[in-house]
Amino acid sequence: MDDVRAGAVAAPGSDQFLRVEERGIEPVPRAERHGSSRELAFLWAGAFVNYASLLTASLLTDFFGLGVWDGLAAVILGTVSAALILGLLSHTGPRSGLPQIAFTRRIFGENGAKIGAFLTLFLAVGWFAVDSVIAALAGVQILSLGGLGANAGKLALPLVLLIVVASVAVAVYGHATIKVFETWGAVVFALLSLLLFAALAGQFRWNTGPSVSGADFPGAFVLGFMVCFALVASWFPFASDYSRYLPHDTPPRGLTLWPVLGVTAPMVLLGLFGLLLPTIDPKLAAGDGGVLAVITRHAPGWVSLPFFLFVILGEIWANYLDVYTAGLVAQTMGIRLKRWQTALGCGALGGILAAVAVTVTDFHTAYQQFLLLTYLWAPAWAAIVLLAFYAHGERHAVPALLAWALGTAVSFLFVNYSNIYPGVRAFNDPLISALHGADLSGLVSMAVAAGAYTVMLRLGWR
């Protein structure tokens, strides 16, 4: 990977640590470009070195019936597949100087891009709420260990509000400040995770195999693949928000591979941890407390307490990215406020959602519902953006929008609704039963969107 600084190092302008970033969705001038593609590895590692990555992987052994090592294979394949797309999308930043959704005005048109902006705003605010709830639940575990016991749960709402304030406070500063916090946060959380892993290693059941067999096994494997793919794919609309400050001539290989490394390394390491935690106490892991409760009961306090503290901090750092991008896409929608002002407003909206979500009793199911349904539009969208950027050229708004809509619509036929809405009989149950539970929604949407877009352009649609 080429991490050489491309082009002259320029003055960063307002993009400096603990200085409010003045720039909104307008292109970053080449004179203000700075940094190297290596920075993307640390930034994206910061986005994935958190409890959400561990929680997502734990679903594979806790709920989907996969074993440790086949589950790890699903984590790796799902993560790498989506991370490659994220890396390729990052190329649009240095080439245009624009945030990701603002760039797509060249592809979907001014009004078409607003659709993506609205969906990204919903996605970012939703993730802000999810991350805030996860952080609050970790805070509850700390208070429980501190002697409050079952009464600690009553303080979840005040904890959410404190976390929301801390999240918004840094995000309003902007790109450079977020980059510093994400980088160092990733390092500290990774070290604490390794300590906790070592403390629990003797209790892991390393050879736990799948509880599903026959034709149901590949179905469960694909479902696990898609959950990990969905976690990374939910970041697709954020990609160039954090690469647009790089020099215009930044080498392409680094732009692709550094984000892949930054995403994959923490997902594999925390993924293995998440897969193993339910093997210690499967019944406890399947309860309301999830794997956080497993850590509370089975890990020594000297490592679990600082780990929970950095679960809170890790989710706050992830929120920085959510609020920053939410502010940018709000401007793309035509909201005439400065970026930091829109970030503040989006953080407040996410805080309201988090305050409601923290009262949900079955957070695992709610998390799966959010993860698999809110991202469905993103794979087809990404396929169109990549084809327009690399192959077909821009300014073909009508076929781009139609192909995106078609790919997204078809994807709903391949969602495993029974997995995310237990007990509900869905319209596509016969198809999902024939696929033995496999959820192919993301892959199908990309294939349909890419195929439809290419065919329409070859037929002369413009």
Quote the pLDDT of residue 140: 84
Three-class DSSP category at 203: helix
What is the residue whose two structure tokens read 């750092």?
Answer: 317
Q: State the Cα–Cα distance between residues 418 and 432, nearest whole angstrom.
A: 9
355 & 413 share domain: no
Residue 274, domain member (yes or no): yes
153's tokens: 């749960």
257 & 163 share domain: yes
Residue 26, domain member (yes or no): no
Among 339, 357, 373, the domain-final residue is 373
Residue 183 has φ and ψ, to the nearest 5°, of -65, -55
424's tokens: 């509900």
Helices then strands, each counted (H, E), the chain: 20, 0
Closest CA to 267 of 298, 302, 324, 228: 228
Quote the pLDDT of residue 286: 80
CA dihedral 152, 157, 163, 164 (to 10 degrees): 180
Number of domains in the chain: 2
Quote the pLDDT of residue 5: 34
Residue 11, domain member (yes or no): no
Quote the pLDDT of residue 87: 97
End-to-end CA distance of the chain: 38
302 & 323 share domain: yes
Q: State the Cα–Cα distance between residues 343 and 22, nearest whole angstrom.
A: 12
Quote the pLDDT of residue 171: 54
Quote the pLDDT of residue 160: 87
Residue 13, domain member (yes or no): no
Residue 8, domain member (yes or no): no
50 & 123 share domain: yes
Residue 4, domain member (yes or no): no
Quote the pLDDT of residue 8: 34
Closest CA to 371 of 327, 428, 415, 319: 415
Quote the pLDDT of residue 423: 75
Query: Given 3-state DSSP classes, what are the helix, strand and coil percentages for the chain, each rounded to the nearest 5?
Result: 75, 0, 25
Radius of gyration of the chain (CA): 21
Residue 28, domain member (yes or no): no
194 & 317 share domain: yes
260 & 341 share domain: yes
442 & 335 share domain: no
Quote the pLDDT of residue 361: 61
Residue 162, domain member (yes or no): yes
Pick out the chain residues at pLDDT < 70.
1-24, 149-150, 169-185, 288, 339-340, 343, 360-362, 364
Average pLDDT, the chain: 84
78 & 220 share domain: yes
CB 203 within 8 A of CB 270: no
pTM: 0.86
66 & 175 share domain: yes
Q: State the Cα–Cα distance between residues 384 and 379, nearest whole angstrom.
A: 9
Q: State the Cα–Cα distance between residues 192 and 94, nearest whole angstrom.
A: 34
- State how far the alpha carbon of 383 is from the alpha carbons of 53, 398, 452, 461, in Å: 24, 15, 11, 18
Range of the domain at 360: 34-373
117 & 254 share domain: yes
Among 322, 340, 373, the domain-final residue is 373
CB 75 within 8 A of CB 60: yes
320's tokens: 């920085």
CB 160 within 8 A of CB 358: yes
385 & 268 share domain: no
Query: What is the CATH classification number for the domain harbouring 337?
Result: 1.10.4160.10
87 & 234 share domain: yes
Quote the pLDDT of residue 31: 81
Q: State the Cα–Cα distance between residues 15 and 93, nearest whole angstrom.
A: 15
Among 338, 373, 408, the domain-final residue is 373
- State how far the alpha carbon of 381 is from the alpha carbons of 98, 212, 238, 391, in Å: 17, 34, 13, 15
Handedness of CA 114, 396, 100, 89 (dihedral sign): positive
